[in-house]
Each structure stands twice: as structure tokens, then as C-alpha cells.
Amino acid sequence: MRFELSIDEIRASAESVEEAGAFDGQCVHGVATLKEAIDGDLSFLSLAKYVPDLEKTKASVVFVPEDCQLSPQQNQLFLKVKHPNLALARACESIAQSLWPRKPGGLHASSIVDSTAEVDETAYLGPFCVVGGGVKVGPNTQIHAGTVIDDGASIGADCWISSNVSILRDTKIGDRVRLHAGVVLGADGFGYEFNGQQHEKIPHLGWVELDSDVEIGANSSIDRGRLGATFVGQGTKIDNHVQVGHNVSIGKHCILCAQVGIAGSTTIEDFVVFGGRAGASGHLTIGQGSKLAGCAAAFSDLPQNSVSGGTPAIPLNAYQRITVVQRKLPELFKRVQRLESQLGQLSS
């Protein structure tokens, strides 16, 4: 995709900019990695391993770290910033708006809206949306094609809801929430009780509640509570293909990466980070500020500000030492066999 982004807009997106070199153009027309950039592109350097790419890049404007010692090439501008990745994200915000444009308020002719629903006149409903009884949709919210909103659900202001999202009964959504394609909020939790002959289904009578500024990635599911709410706190970001079980409580500004699974009734406190494919079993407390490495699994509570890895999860430095030892086990086994053989020969 080609576009036009002025140098002044790029400068305005960065804080405490120090410049090196000069670019004689007034605009850039693309964003690319250092390796793939061409003349007229904007790029960035965030990791030291890409410094060789910076030396060769054809990008015209590059966000670089404040301590970058390289000099730009001819007709190339380096903008030295504290966080190059963040500066690029802010520079691209206007481009993102063109990729996901806000539609003017109104209902598509093919949408079906119950007569008891309250949809703000500035909200947009796309083709084949279905809105149930008693639903409330706030100002400037965008709801795209094929989304279903069941009875009693409420959605705040300035939300962006992609296509084919299912927002099931009584779900409560705050302001500025972003839901990507295929998200399911409020399906029944996975709850059964064995009665001696078969698994009997446990009714789930609760709901899902998202605080403001939450973002949920494509095809993720958050189950309703058995009793009461499954809750996601303000500013929390959830990646694609994440499963959150019934009555889980997630705090503010947490990060759950792809394929994370959280079993029912676990409490995740504020500022927690789960790496990809990490998980937690049920009825645990994951302490504030703690981090769980990718593919790790917590089977007991984790203290605040802990960093854990492995299955079951243990302190990350201990897990790393164990991993190093595991790689040496075949050789250690051979050495033990040799020692046993030598001791057997000496004893005989």
C-alpha cells in the first residue's frame, strides 16, 4: 500500500527527536523493514541485531535509538528517539485510520435491529448485523458485517468491532474497545459434573464484562461466568486464539499473547504478561507484575513481580539452568555408565 505522510507529521509523532542527515523530500510514501525499504520509505531500528540492515537500507527516513552511532547516507534522515518502535506506531496512526476507516453513523439496510434496542444515531451497523432486545450501543461505535449482539448486551462509545463477532447475552463492553474478527464473548463456560453415569452440564448464568480500552485478537473466546462476571480490566490486550475460562478476572494493562489458555476462576492481577501458548490452571492467583514465559504452565499461585517458565512453572532462572542440564543428560548418562563399568572392573 502506498500513501503520503509528511515529514512534519513524522517528526510530530516522536518525542525528544534529534536529527542526523537530511532528506530533501517533503513526504514518504511507504513503510517497510530496513531490508525491504526503498527510496521514499519510512523505517525503524529497534533491535541491535538489525544494525547491519541499517547500514545498507535504502529507506529515506529512519527512526533510530538515541545512542545510535551510525551516520546516515546521502539524502537520508535519521530521527533519534527513545522508543523507535513506538515512534513508528504513532507515525502510522493516520495510515491505520485509512485501512480501517470509520463509517458515517447509520444502519445498513440488511441489518436486523430489535425494536427495544437503543443504537446511538452516530453508531454504524454494517451488513447482516443482528442486534437483540434491550441492547445498547454507544456513540461513534463501529460494528462491521455479520456481527451478532444478543439480548441485554451493552457496548460503550468509540468501540471498533470487526466482522463476524459474537457478543452474547448480557455482555458488558466499555468505551474504546477493539474486537477483531471472530471474537466470541459470553459463550458458556466448560463446566460439567459427573453424576456417576454421565457428565451433567452446569448452567452458566453470569456474563462477560470488558473495561475500557481493551483489545481482543481474532478468534479469541471469553466465556461467561457460572455466577457473576468473567472480567477483563482496563487497557488489557489479548492476542489471537486465546481462551479465557468462566469467572476469570484479569486486571489492568495485562498482555496475553497468542494461544494462551486460562482455566476458570483464576485471578490475574494488574500488569501481568503471558507469553505465547502459556497457561494457568483454575482457581489460582497470578500476582501483579508477574511474567510467564512462552509455553509455560502455572499450576500454583505466582507471587507478585515473579518471572517464571517451564511446566510446571518455576522461577525462570532455575528453569533455564535445568534446561541447560537437560541438554547434557545424554553425555552425563554415558559418563555414569563408563564410571560404573570402571568401578565394576576395579571391584572384580
Say whether 246 is catalytic: yes
Catalytic: which of 144, 180, 241, 246? 246
Q: 65 and 87 in contact (C-beta within 8 Å)?
A: no
Q: Which residues pair with 31 in a beta bridge?
A: 42
Nearby residues of 122 by Cβ (< 8 Å), 6 or more positions away = 105, 139, 140
Q: Write out 32-89 in H/E/C secondary structure.
A: CCCCCCCCCEEEECCCHHHHHHHHHCCCCEEEEECCCCCCCCCCCEEEEECCHHHHHH
Collect all residues with Cβ–Cβ distance below 8 Å to 266 and sequence separation of at least 6.
245, 248, 249, 280, 281, 282, 283, 284, 285, 286
Whole-Å CA distances, 283 to 34, 193, 286: 46, 17, 10
Q: From residue 317, give the alpha-carbon distance in Å to each of 300, 307, 308, 314.
A: 18, 8, 8, 9
Separation of first and last alpha carbons in the chain: 79
Catalytic residues: 246
